[in-house]
């Protein structure tokens, strides 16, 4: 018999586009916070872009950071409030383009916080420009002929970089695709929070998501594209397991 799953009280109305993966991630984060008893003990640092929708989308304390600086702002919050649960919520443009210095340096210091990055292969809020995660050949508002990696670099894999170069507590990449993948993703998110609550250090979970509006696709087509073209390049799984 089908059981209706309760929507976490932390979830609020967020105006994401139809078929966008942000809402699923937001709900998973809220579920994990509730299950870990952190709903009244959390401070988020959110990026600029579609992440701004968390201002209305989640009922926790949060700081709207300057574009790309969530890694540094969250560091300040973490050091000021050692007992709070602290996470950043950023898009790939925020965390990997303008904020790559702050993202990598927070990981490098092994700050005890969680970083969630939505990788949808472009700058969403500004209208679908190329980001460092844009796929080779992908047409965007600023790569109208398709991304030429000889000129712009190849799609960036930051979780791998962090897992292999630094000493973080936990690094994984999940995807908002099938129910099974979404369940796995929830496990990654929970691991990340648990690592922080155990003072194990820095954790990052990148989440592959659709962006139907800017990809110029219907939600189902975008979903298909994500599974067929994006997931094969951006390997899913845990790159650094806890306690490893």
Partner 1 sequence: MGDMIKGNIAVAEAAVRAGIEVYAGYPITPSTEVMEYLSARLPELGRTFIQAESELAAINMVLGVSACGRRSLTASSGPGISLKQEGISYMAQMNFPAVILNVVRWGNGLGSLDGAQTDYLRETRGGGNGDYRNIVLCPSTVQETVDLMYEAFDIAEKYRCIVVVMTDSGLGQMMEPCEMPPFREIRKCSWGLDGTYQVKRPDFLGRNIPGESDAYIRKVREMRENEQRWEAVGLEDAEYVFVAYGMCGRVMTGLVSEMRAAGQRVGLLRPITAWPFPEKAFAQMREKAPGLKGLITVETNGEGQMVEDVALYAKKYGLGQVPVYALPYVCGVPKDDVVKADFDRILSGEIKEVF
User: In the complex, which residues of this chain contact partner 1 (CB under 8 A)?
Assistant: 15, 40-43, 45, 52-53, 55-56, 59-66, 69, 71-81, 84-85, 101-102, 105, 108
- Closest to partner 1 by CB, 79 or 154: 79
Dihedral pair phi/psi, residue 119, rounded to 5°: -105, 105
* Helices 158-165 and 100-108, packing angle to 10 deg: 30
- Closest to partner 1 by CB, 78 or 173: 78
CA pair distance 124, 211, nearest whole angstrom: 7
- Closest to partner 1 by CB, 66 or 219: 66
Residues 6+ apart with CB under 8 A from 206: 117, 118, 119, 158, 159, 172, 173, 174, 234
Q: How far is the CB of 20 from partner 1 (least distance, A)?
A: 16
E strand or H helix at 103: helix 100-108
Q: How far is the CB of 50 from partner 1 (least distance, A)?
A: 12
Q: How far is the CB of 34 from partner 1 (least distance, A)?
A: 13
Helix, coil or strand: residue 60: coil
* Contact of 107 with 202, CB cutoff 8 Å: yes
Q: How far is the CB of 89 from partner 1 (least distance, A)?
A: 14
Q: How far is the CB of 62 from partner 1 (least distance, A)?
A: 8
- Closest to partner 1 by CB, 41 or 126: 41
Give whole-number Cα distances, 85 to 81, 187, 209, in Å: 9, 17, 25
């Amino acid at each position: 018999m089908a059981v209706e799953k309760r929507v976490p009280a932390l979830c609020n109305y967020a105006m994401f586009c139809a078929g966008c993966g942000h809402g699923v991630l937001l709900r998973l984060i809220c579920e994990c916070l509730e299950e870990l008893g952190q709903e009244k003990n959390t401070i988020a640092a959110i990026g600029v872009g579609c992440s701004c929708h968390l201002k209305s989308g989640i009922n926790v304390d949060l700081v709207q950071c300057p574009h790309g600086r969530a890694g540094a702002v969250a560091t300040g919050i973490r050091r000021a409030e050692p007992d709070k649960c602290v996470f950043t919520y950023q898009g790939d443009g925020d965390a990997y383009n303008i904020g790559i210095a702050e993202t990598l340096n927070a990981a490098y210091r092994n700050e005890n916080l969680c970083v969630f990055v939505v990788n949808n292969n472009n700058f969403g809020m500004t209208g679908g420009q190329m980001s460092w995660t844009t796929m080779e050949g992908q047409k965007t508002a600023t790569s109208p002929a398709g991304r030429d990696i000889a000129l712009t670099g190849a799609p960036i894999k930051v979780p791998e970089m962090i897992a292999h170069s630094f000493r973080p507590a936990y690094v994984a990449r999940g995807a908002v695709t099938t129910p099974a993948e979404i369940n796995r993703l929830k496990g990654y998110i929970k691991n990340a929070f648990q690592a922080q609550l155990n003072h194990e250090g820095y954790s990052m979970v990148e989440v592959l998501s659709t962006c139907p509006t800017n990809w110029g696709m219907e939600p189902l087509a975008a979903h298909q594209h994500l599974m067929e073209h994006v997931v094969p390049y951006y390997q899913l799984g845990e790159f650094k397991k806890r306690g490893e």
